[in-house]
Structure 1
Amino acid sequence: MQIFIVALVISLVVSLGIYPLVIPFLHKIKFGQSIRQDGPKSHLKKTGTPTMGGFVFVLVPIIVLAILMPQALLDTKIQIVIISYVGYSLIGFIDDFLIVVKKNNDGLSPSAKFLLQLILAVIIFFMYRNVSSMGILIPFTHVEIDLGWFYFVLILIMFTAESNAVNLTDGLDGLSSGCVLIALAPFILFSILQGEYGLGVFLMAVFGSLLAYLKNNFFPAKIFMGDTGSLALGGLLAAVAMVLKQEILLVVIGGMFVLEVLSVIIQVTSFKLTGKRVFRMAPLHHHFELGGMNEKQVVLMFWCIEAVFAIVGYLMGVL
């Protein structure tokens, strides 16, 4: 157990040391966030806040794992998780870079971003099918059902949906990073219970680095993760759920992300069919914000809800 704590502490301390250097550097090179003009007006003051801060919590944990457990990098399942993490981060980086260059919120087109996410999911699937079954575990029963090639469809949905869901949730200071930290906890426990210690060490390193990011991202944020971080975290959660055979529980453990996506789907569908909006603004966190709650209150409320989802998901996985 000692190595898990060491991974967390090293990653936390190193990342805490890096962010005070990264933030002024990103300011200097004018890598600032562009804020949606159609979003809450209170967010316009965040324009220019350094973005792409996610690259720190993507790179640091990989280096920490390579130092503490270099042999783990030979494990195909861990390779899949790292490729997912870095791959989706690179897609996000391209999007962020284009936004910074154009000085508006138009980065990669939705179709181009989706295509890249899809291609990466296909690569991950073919890597995974060589080391595991195409089945899913049914909660409470511990029965595995073989989906055959339908598992391929499931993986495509998981990766594209989860990466975009975390991205949608990244709309308030500390919201997405806090929810991901909470969602990581059950998966860390699952990895230890299943004897996947290398994966557990890596996730603890991610936890430590993400905690350092949250310190700088909580209201008022000094830095944003950008798509560089949000797409990476979504890809990470999907990959971890896959290699730990907790695909179904990803929906429960990541319940807050599911609610955010559903709010957007409901809002768009309602407006197209009836011309009326169900929420004051979507995603869901903006609905509460425009209802009079301040940013901190919304974030803390969502963290609490996500904690309930995480606990329920964990219990479903062990009972």
Structure 2
Amino acid sequence: MIHQKQLIYTIIIGFFITIILGPLIIPFLKKLKVGQTVRDEGPKSHSIKSGTPTIGGIIIIISIFITSLTSGIINRDLWVALFVTLAFGIIGFIDDFIKVVMKRNLGLRAYQKLILQIIVAVILAIYKTSQSHEAINTKILIPFIDGQFEIGSLSIPQYLDLGVLYIPFIVFVVVATVNSANLTDGLDGLASGVTLIIAAFFGFVAMQEGFTSLAIFASAVTGACLGFLKFNSHPAQVFMGDTGSLALGGAIASLAVLMNVTLIIPIVGGIYFAESLSVIIQVFSFRLTGKRVFKMSPLHHHYELSGWAETKVVTVFWITTVILCLIGWLGLF
């Protein structure tokens, strides 16, 4: 059983590694002229951000790896979590590289990105089902159910066996989480702040449930995001880009899958999915009725155009995530 002090030490180490890496990598990104191109259809207030270095997610990924691998607590689960994080980070890096270096503004085509994401998600799902020591290979934990929950004649088990649907379900959850995290990365400090709170939540869940290496990994993600806020908070010196947002989404998804708490993601990651849902609603509404539900999507832009300062939107979304994680804790324990 890992002690909570070790999680705190890991967060602090991850924080300082990121703080050290930032001044080394950000000037390098500036020299490469990998500046962010702000979309014309975005809020006009964001025009001043044009040219800010992007692909800063490299800092986060390196920090997570160094912190995790120097912890002395390494097993297959940790390697898989690191692989998933890196794989999604590479997909994001390719997308960023095409956009900011090759100057093709759309980056990877949607189907190309989706195929690559599905491949990584399938690998994660297969690994989870292939663990011979795991007695619940194709079962998922249902939050807020303690033992066998009954409503009249209806009996709801604590674990639901999905059978052959398990792998498709996990793939859907992983891809949805990763892309939702990507959509959340639209304001200074938003994605990094929301993700560090969620990662801290999973760190304590892992500690509670005896997933020692995953507790270390989650703490490394927390520390890396916390340190990245030094450079990414308003006004941002660097953006994480798809390199960072896809990697962080992959990290959160892998933690949930490996600990078999995938159904807690829509709760603790409520901001992720509110952002994603706002885009889906906006698209369908406009195509069906020609009218927009939100002033702009994703959701954070709606609040900006409603008169909220960027920093207020970010702070409120952070606070919301803290509350959602507290609810999520009640759902598991």
* 8 Å CA contact 2:77, 2:213 repeated in 1: no
The answer to whether 1:190 aligns with 2:205 is: yes
* 8 Å CA contact 1:4, 1:200 repeated in 2: yes
Q: How does 1:84-103 map to 2 (within 5 A)?
A: 84-103=84-103
* Superposed displacement of residue 185, structure 1: 2.1
The answer to whether 1:139 aligns with 2:143 is: yes
* Superposed displacement of residue 68, structure 1: 2.0
The answer to whether 1:130 aligns with 2:126 is: no
Write the deviation string for residues 188-211 of structure 1: whole angstroms up to 9, x where unpaired. Answer: 111001111111112112211111
| Count of aligned pairs between the two proteins | 315
Aligned to 2:319: 304
* 8 Å CA contact 2:140, 2:260 repeated in 1: yes
CA distance in 2, matches of 1:59, 1:22: 11
* 8 Å CA contact 1:217, 1:224 repeated in 2: yes
Higher helix fraction (1 or 2): 1
* Superposed displacement of residue 79, structure 1: 2.1
The answer to whether 1:50 aligns with 2:53 is: yes
CA distance in 2, matches of 1:274, 1:141: 40
* Superposed displacement of residue 305, structure 1: 1.3
Tell me the SS of whatever aligns to 1:145.
Answer: strand
CA distance in 2, matches of 1:68, 1:82: 13
Aligned to 1:19: 22
Aligned to 1:121: 121
Aligned to 1:170: 185
CA distance in 2, matches of 1:157, 1:314: 23
The answer to whether 1:109 aligns with 2:109 is: yes
Q: What's the % identity of the aligned pairs?
A: 43
CA distance in 2, matches of 1:185, 1:9: 12
* 8 Å CA contact 1:121, 1:156 repeated in 2: yes
CA distance in 2, matches of 1:238, 1:206: 12
CA distance in 2, matches of 1:294, 1:5: 32
The runs of at least 4 aligned residues of structure 1 exceeding 6 Å deviation read none
Write the deviation string for residues 85-108 of structure 1: whole angstroms up to 9, x where unpaired. Answer: 111000000000001123353100
CA distance in 1, matches of 2:57, 2:187: 15
CA distance in 2, matches of 1:50, 1:97: 12
CA distance in 1, matches of 2:126, 2:265: 21
CA distance in 1, matches of 2:318, 2:70: 32
Write the deviation string for residues 47-105 of structure 1: whole angstroms up to 9, x where unpaired. Answer: 11111111121122222222221x51xx2222221111111000000000001123353
Structure 1 residue runs without a partner (length 5+):
none
Using the size of structure 1 for normalisation, the TM-score is 0.96
Letter matched to residue 112 of structure 1: Q
* Superposed displacement of residue 285, structure 1: 0.5
* 8 Å CA contact 1:34, 1:103 repeated in 2: no
Write the deviation string for residues 110-136 of structure 1: whole angstroms up to 9, x where unpaired. Answer: 111011101111112122211141110
Aligned to 2:242: 227
* 8 Å CA contact 1:80, 1:128 repeated in 2: no
Using the size of structure 2 for normalisation, the TM-score is 0.92
CA distance in 1, matches of 2:105, 2:195: 24
Cα RMSD (Å): 1.2
Letter matched to residue 14 of structure 2: S
CA distance in 2, matches of 1:50, 1:117: 25
The answer to whether 1:67 aligns with 2:82 is: no
* 8 Å CA contact 1:88, 1:235 repeated in 2: yes
CA distance in 2, matches of 1:53, 1:167: 14
Letter matched to residue 125 of structure 1: A
The answer to whether 1:267 aligns with 2:282 is: yes
Letter matched to residue 287 of structure 1: H
* 8 Å CA contact 2:96, 2:243 repeated in 1: yes
Deviates more, 1:258-267 or 1:96-105: 96-105
